[in-house]
Amino acid sequence: MMSSFLSHPVVRGIAILLVGLVGLVLFIVTRPEPPKERPEVFAPAVEVERVRLEAGPLLVEATGSARALREVNLSSEVAGRIMRTSPVFVDGGRFRKGDILVKLDSTDYVNAVTAARAQVTQRQFDVIVAREEVAAARDEFRRMQERLSGNTARPGAAAAGLEPDTTDLGSLLFREPQLRLAEAALAAARAAFRDAEARLERTRIRAPFDGQVRTKRVDVGTYATPGMVLAEVFDTDMAEITVPLTQAQVGLVPALESGAAAWGRIPVRVTNGRGGAWDGLLHRSAGALSSESRTLTAIVRVASPYDQTPPLRVGTFVNVSIAAQQLGPHVRLREDRIRDGDTVWVLEGDRLRMRPVNVLTIQNGTAIITEGLSDGDAVITTGLVVVSDSMQVRLGGQQ
């Protein structure tokens, strides 16, 4: 009966299952434990830049374009046909103050001067005649008084006793109004003569300053009228450069803070990025901030810009470096090395340290740092997406 029970298929299946389960448990219990592996720490690779401390004057840097101190339209003051122009009266021509650039037909004006001179001569003659008539009238009046007084024996006494007649009637008697009229006519004739000479002189159109022709508008044969623009000319004695400065930059330049007393003594270096360099001076600043950009416009002057090599031409876009305050030890660092406005990542061993710094100013992509960095510090230049203070990093090229 027992043998028949054990031979039952179900019993045999259960027995086999129990034996397999016991074997599996024994295998798991007796299996040797695998060695534990330490989790790998991920250390991102970074690049660094060694900084150097420096000292010296701070240069406030800005950009602007050169312009002429004076730029005017050269115009005619009188009418006339252009008879001749100067060889330098061409686009780009250089001239000196007082040079005759354009000559108009002066025939009518020469005739007007001749007529005016004749009028002066005539009026001078009229004055001489009027004065003689006044003298004759007075002499006649004196003789008449002597006859009436009967004092012919003592003419001197009679003359001394005469009282001048200051009434209008007496004035007419002595022909004084005629003399005054003749003198007034002479003064008018002289004024007309001076005006005729001035109009004749204006047929010779002269350069108002040392300069250069920007654009020539007329040529020989053109009939010029009063006010007609003959050319656009500009001054070459002095160039001005207008540069916008932020309020932070203004605070770094003592001359802009102290006012006009220091203007004209602050040296400025002007460059064009292509090897051209010129020395100038900070001349003045605008009276108010720009309502749009909130910047202050500073004006730099460069003397004799066209006499230098290379010349500083009008319209040249330039970089301007204004000597500002003296700085103690400081570091210059690219702007993109500054994190969150006032933090720099520094590599110390294999750790990233977040170092707070004092950024004095940022100019043309360069930050001036006065506190927070030491000479030789390794500033991390690599941008990291996830970062924390004291995180482990490795120098680029290391495993």
Looking at residue 216, which CATH number applies to its domain? 2.40.50.100
Least Cα distance to 324 among 362, 363, 268, 242 occurs for 268
With beta carbons less than 8 A apart as the criterion, state whether 387 and 352 touch: yes
Q: 146 in a domain, yes or no?
A: no
Looking at residue 360, which CATH number applies to its domain? 2.40.420.20
pLDDT confidence of 261, banded at 50, 70, 90?
A: very low
Segment 48-71 shows an average pLDDT of: 90
210 and 86 together in one domain: yes
Q: Does position 31 have pLDDT exceeding 70, yes or no?
A: no
Looking at residue 322, which CATH number applies to its domain? 2.40.30.170
Residue 59 three-state SS: strand
With beta carbons less than 8 A apart as the criterion, state whether 340 and 349 touch: no
222 and 94 together in one domain: yes
308 and 378 together in one domain: no
241 and 322 together in one domain: yes
Number of domains in the chain: 3
User: What's the longest Cα–Cα distance across the chain?
Assistant: 209
Segment 21-30 shows an average pLDDT of: 67
Complete DSSP assignment for 204-271: EEE-SSSEEEEEE---TT-EE-TT-EEEEEEE-SEEEEEEEE-HHHHTT-HHHHH-GGGTT-SEEEEE
pLDDT digits (tens, 9 = 90+) for 332-350: 999 999 998 899 999 999 8
Q: 10 in a domain, yes or no?
A: no
86 and 230 together in one domain: yes
Q: Does position 145 have pLDDT exceeding 90, yes or no?
A: no
Q: 170 in a domain, yes or no?
A: no
State which residues form the domain around 274. Answer: 60-68+236-327
pLDDT score at 4: 56
With beta carbons less than 8 A apart as the criterion, state whether 91 and 212 touch: no
Q: 32 in a domain, yes or no?
A: no
85 and 226 together in one domain: yes
Tell me the residue length of the chain.
Answer: 399
Q: 193 in a domain, yes or no?
A: no
350 and 228 together in one domain: no
225 and 84 together in one domain: yes
245 and 230 together in one domain: no
Q: 305 in a domain, yes or no?
A: yes
pLDDT digits (tens, 9 = 90+) for 298-322: 899 999 999 999 999 999 999 999 8
pLDDT confidence of 38, banded at 50, 70, 90?
A: low
Q: What is the mean pLDDT of the chain?
A: 85
**Rounded-to-integer distance, Cα 104 and Cα 82, Å:** 4
87 and 212 together in one domain: yes
User: Which has more pLDDT, 143 or 345?
Assistant: 345
Peptide bond into 356 cis (omega under 30): no
pLDDT score at 159: 45
User: Which has more pLDDT, 290 or 196?
Assistant: 196
212 and 95 together in one domain: yes
